[in-house]
Amino acid sequence: MLIRKRWAAIVAAAAVVSCPSVHAAEASANLHHITGAGEAEPVGSVTFTDSKYGLIVTPALENLQSRGLHGTHIHANADCGATRMGDHMMPGGAAGGHYDPEQAGRHAGPYGDGHLGDLPNLTVEDDGTAATPVLAPRLTVADLEGRAVMVHAEVDRYDDHGTHHHGKGGMRMYCGVIE
């Protein structure tokens, strides 16, 4: 699995170098920490660029609270607001579920045959920054219209085991509407 992640990062980096951005479609999202009260402080941006290999996802994030790998997904709605879930407010609940236009209904990762919302995990460095580009081979910038990008509190293992009410990757921590 580690080899696959490294290979994806190498392919994404090669795609960035080999595909001039002046010819590629591009979108971006400004991410904010999210709470039950709504959006809080900004943490940076994520840029999405089409390449012949798929969608290159380039984070430029800082001041992130947890280090390591974090599940990152495209969510169905362009809204990062909180929604009521029982007796509490769910941060980022208005973003809806993971983007799944083909209604696959299963979680299989960016290279699998599940829903399209799975992105490779975001790597947060010890200094709280995230800047490593990744590749989502089954997506294009056109797929992102009317969507949000979400970073979760925990690593995404891309399977349907251990389901909990926060979805794969744990609680929603950072969100941005894609423009």
**Domain boundaries in the chain?**
2-177
Q: Which of 133, 97, 90 is nearest to 115 (CA)?
A: 97
Mean pLDDT of 135-158: 95
- Please tell me which residue, 38 or 113, carries the higher pLDDT value: 113
Tokens of 115: 């829903």
As a CATH number, domain 2-177 is 2.60.40.200
Q: What is the percent of the chain with per-residue pLDDT over 90, rounded to a whole number?
A: 67
The model's confidence at residue 2, banded by pLDDT at 50, 70 and 90, is: very low
pLDDT at residue 19 tops 80 = no
For the stretch 127-160, what's the b/e string if a residue is b when 16 or more beta carbons lie within 10 angstroms of its beta carbon?
Answer: eebbebbbbbebbbbebbeebbbbbbebebbbee
Residue 101 CA to residue 74 CA, distance in Å, equals 11
